[in-house]
Amino acid sequence: MGVGTNLKRLRNKTKLSQQEIADKLDIDRATYINWENGTFDVKSQYIPKLAEIFDVELHEFFKDDQKIHITNNIENKDKTGTGGVGVQKGKIIINMIITDESSAIKLSEQLEKLLHKK
């Protein structure tokens, strides 16, 4: 994960819009969008302010979380690589990518409950 991906993840977590963050930084929204998209690098002068806005440590912007892939054994027919749900021979097939630990833990807990529910 790059800085842009982490910016987007943190922004979504705080439920702030791109415009709200741009306003707090006194920059144009397009500039912020380019940071999230990875088109341009974030200028170092803005990193401490972003950490303050998102209430995180500076290293959070440079964190490279390992992705967790949950895939099935059948061929992905649409070749998009995106997640989805399907059925094959009466079995539910789930194909997804989880990019943060808290979502993986939540999913694991829910699956555990379902598997032990009889």
N- to C-terminal Cα distance for the chain? 39
What is the structure's pLDDT at 69?
41
The answer to whether the CB of 92 falls within 8 A of the CB of 85 is yes
What is the structure's pLDDT at 104?
74
Domains of the chain: residue spans and CATH? 3-62 (1.10.260.40), 68-116 (no CATH)
The answer to whether the CB of 43 falls within 8 A of the CB of 3 is no
Beta bridge partners of 47: none
How do 68-70 and 84-88 pair as beta strands?
Answer: unpaired
Q: What is the pLDDT of residues 25-68, one digit of tens each?
A: 999 999 999 998 888 888 888 888 998 998 888 777 776 654 44
- The pTM assigned to this predicted structure is 0.52
Q: What is the pLDDT of residues 78-116, one digit of tens each?
A: 444 444 545 555 565 565 666 677 777 777 777 777 777
